Structures are given as structure tokens and as C-alpha cells.
């Protein structure tokens, strides 16, 4: 299996990246988790993960701080990584976007973001102002690529008209048990328009339901059911995913899921 998605602009994005929700805390920073968080990040970097997904609201910015710290401490070449962060729905005004990006870069200790996403679209989103700022950040070299998260098709289409560069991704919940963004047409739209669909919660935060078909396919591949769930996602065109684990073995298993090739029959059986 191809472990990357290659976009028309030549950018190669790993099929399986590393999510950082819970790194550094949850809705607020929890310094007591720093040892565990840094160990998880260092392990992921050592295993060869190159796409790290964070956000300013993760642990109120502490996730970004720890991600940057781990990159510096491990000595991994920054240029070899894809670092994604997200601007929160509270900061979507023109000046607020610029300030939020500056804050994320400061916490990460980096000069640029590879990918910067609008995290959640609020009901009264000032989309023109938001994209004016995002386009400016790309022009200034502080952001390489722009994306969105939790957008529906009409909002993504509108965003495309406002974005001076191609929208790189829409990050949405997608898993064996959550097909809502298939049903609303988003997956097909992304595939038809060379936009990556980044699947978050790919194993439903440990709540993946296991049926006989899933278990049978896992057994046939000498794999875990979680690996099959990830392989099912990334075998689909223009789909990437960002599982998170603090366990080095699970991190390795998640990365190895990109090597599993499911048959057409198995893909159909999984739905």
C-alpha cells in the first residue's frame, strides 16, 4: 500500500499521522502529565511518525508547547515533519487569526506551520475575514497550507472560493462506526476535488465496536481489530488519519496498519 497521499502540488502527506488530543491535558493544561506526554511524543518521533496534529485549544496551548519541545529534544529535522495546528472558533476575526497563529508558533517554537486549520465553524462565522487572514499568513510564509475541520460540503465549497490556495484537508470524525461524513457527501466531494479527508477518532477513542466480520479479518491478517479499522480508512483514496496513543507498542501497531492490504472483498465486508 502507498503510505502517502501525494497532492497535485507535490506535497506528500503520510496516510497515518499522530494526533495530540490529551497530550498535555484535556480542556486545560495538566503539567502532571508532562512526563507521559513527552514520552509519547518522543516515542512517536523515534518510530518515524512525521505528521503531528495539534491545536491551540488542546490543553489550552500546552499540547503545542510539548510537541515543539519533543521535536527539539529529539533532534528530528523540522523540515522532515508536517506540523498541523488549528485556530479555535473564538479567534476567527481577521486580527484574531493572525494573533492566534503567532501564539501557536511561539508555543511550538517554530517559524511556520505546514498546515493551519479552522477548528470548528461557529454559526456566525466571519468567513471572509478569516480567510483574508489565512491568505495573508500563507503570503508571509508563516503557514504553508490551509485546511478546515468539521465543515459540511456547502461551507467547504464557500471556503474554496475565499482561499487563495487549494484547501488541503477537511478534518472530520470518520471510522468504521461513524460514517456521517460519507452520508453527507463529504468523502465523495473530497475525493473528487483532491482534498484530503483527515479522519479523527479513527478507532472511536477506544470505543470501537467489534463484530464477527471485523474480528475474522483481523485474525486473517494476524492483526488487531484497531489495525484493521485504520487500514480500512487509509486504503480509501484521499483519506488519511491521526490516531493517538501514549503506548509505544500501540503507536507502532498504528503505524504498521498502513502496511496492511485488505482485499476488495474485505473492504466490502467492512462496509
List 58, 116, 174, 200, catalytic entry: 58
N-to-C CA span, the chain: 19
Main-chain dihedrals φ then ψ at residue 117, nearest 5 degrees: -115, 150
Residues 6+ apart with CB under 8 A from 182: 174, 188
User: Ramachandran region of residue 238, left (φ > 0), alpha (ψ -120 to 50) or beta?
Assistant: left
Count the helix, strand and coil residues of the chain and give each as a percent rounded to the nearest 5. 50, 20, 35
Buried b (16+ CB within 10 A) or exposed e, 132-156: bbbbbbbeeebbbbbbbbbbeeebb
CB-CB contact of 58 with 96 (8 Å) = no
CA distance 39 to 236: 31
Check if 181 is active-site: no
Which residue, 109, 102, 107, 95, is CA-closest to 143?
102
Other C-beta atoms closer than 10 Å to the C-beta of 238 total 18
Please give the positions annotated as active site. Answer: 58
Amino acid at each position: 500500500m502507498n503510505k502517502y497521499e501525494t497532492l497535485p502540488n507535490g506535497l506528500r502527506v503520510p496516510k497515518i499521522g499522530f494526533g495530540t488530543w490529551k497530550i498535555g491535558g484535556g480542556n486545560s493544561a495538566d503539567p502532571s502529565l508532562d512526563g507521559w506526554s513527552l514520552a509519547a511524543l518522543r516515542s512517536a518521533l523515534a518510530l518515524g511518525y512525521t505528521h503531528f496534529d495539534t491545536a491551540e485549544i488542546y490543553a489550552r496551548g500546552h499540547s503545542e508547547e510539548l510537541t515543539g519541545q519533543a521535536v527539539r529534544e529529539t533532534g528530528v529535522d523540522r523540515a522532515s515533519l508536517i506540523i498541523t495546528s488549528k485556530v479555535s472558533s473564538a479567534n476567527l476575526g481577521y486580527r484574531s487569526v493572525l494573533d492566534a497563529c503567532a501564539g501557536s508558533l511561539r508555543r511550538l517554537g517554530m517559524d511556520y506551520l505546514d498546515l493551519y486549520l479552522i477548528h470548528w465553524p461557529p454559526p456566525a462565522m466571519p468567513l471572509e475575514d478569516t480567510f483574508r487572514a489565512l491568505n495573508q499568513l500563507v503570503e508571509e510564509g508563516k503557514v504553508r497550507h490551509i485546511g478546515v475541520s468539521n465543515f459540511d460540503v456547502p461551507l467547504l465549497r464557500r471556503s474554496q472560493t475565499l482561499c487563495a490556495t487549494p484547501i488541503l484537508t477537511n478534518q472530520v470524525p470518520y471510522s468504521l462506526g461513524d460514517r456521517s461524513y460519507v452520508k453527507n457527501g463529504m468523502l465523495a466531494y473530497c475525493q473528487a476535488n483532491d482534498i484530503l479527508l483527515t479522519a479523527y477518532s479513527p478507532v472511536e477513542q477506544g470505543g470501537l465496536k467489534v463484530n464477527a466480520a471485523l474480528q475474522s479479518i483481523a485474525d486473517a491478517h494476524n492483526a488487531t481489530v484497531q489495525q484493521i479499522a485504520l487500514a480500512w480508512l487509509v486504503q480509501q483514496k484521499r483519506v488519511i488519519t491521526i490516531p493517538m496513543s501514549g503506548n509505544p507498542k500501540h503507536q507502532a501497531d498504528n503505524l504498521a496498519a498502513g502496511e496492511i492490504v485488505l482485499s476488495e472483498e474485505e473492504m466490502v465486508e467492512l462496509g
